[in-house]
Amino acid sequence: ESTRPGAASVTLEDELARVVPVIEQIRKHSDVPISIDTSKAEVMRAAIVAGADMINDVNALRAEGALKVAVDHQVPVCLMHMQGTPKNMQVQPSYHDVVSDVVTFLTERANECILAGLKADEIAIDPGFGFGKNVDQNYQLFASIPRFIEANYPVLVGVSRKSMLGAVVNKPVEQRLAGSIAAATMATEMNVHIVRVHDVEETVDAVNVVNAVREAKSQIK
């Protein structure tokens, strides 16, 4: 189910038909970790049975039954912040303080998950860049990544090719590689744990350079 701005929802049956066979086929040929990106409890359960290892939910496990599935199967989860729904989230997003509001939401959701029976070290958080935020709010969140790190959960950053980059470089989505790598590099320097990207090989090169410099720093006396 697409979560792009303006995207319409799809039926449970359609979503199951789209993701479960793919997971089953990947699992037949590889033990690579698989993350199911869904907000529907039924899809989460079916995906895990099919071989998925992790749940990534833009709705932070708030849908009926979603948190129970994660607890029942004891799988890692990524909780993302989103204001509204994909269909309406970009219609005048509004916050009292975008950074404090998002940090508070994610820490409260993480606490709810722990109270329900998930292990704290199996929870990651995602500020939800582009999900109910305007350009300025997105960059305020990005500049405040250390605030999310301080919450003591692994932080996932997904800004690859997004419109927040397009607004700065003034290029269409297929020409945002340099901007995407710059963002991934900065996120890595700020100690995020996961970067979600489209251009994997190029981003790995950039991250390896960041890590090499970091290692060299640690050796300087």
Active-site positions? 162, 196
With beta carbons less than 8 A apart as the criterion, state whether 207 and 169 touch: no
Distance set, CA 34 to CA 20, 50, 106, 143, 153 (Å): 11, 10, 23, 29, 20
- Both structure tokens of 24: 């089953």
Environment class of residue 82 by beta-carbon count within 10 Å: exposed (0-12), middle (13-18) or buried (19+)?
buried
Q: Please list, in sequence order, all residues whose beta carbon lies within 8 angstroms of the beta carbon of residue 47, skipping any fewer than 6 positions away.
A: 19, 20, 23, 34, 36, 38, 55
Query: Nearest Cα to 34, choosing from 43, 199, 24?
Result: 24
Residue that has been written with the tokens 């995407």 in this structure:
180
**Sign of the C-alpha dihedral computed for residues 110, 86, 168 and 194 taken in this order:** positive
**Sign of the C-alpha dihedral computed for residues 113, 110, 43 and 54 taken in this order:** negative
Residue ranges of alpha helices (H) inside 62-119 are 66-73, 98-116
- Both structure tokens of 50: 């099919």
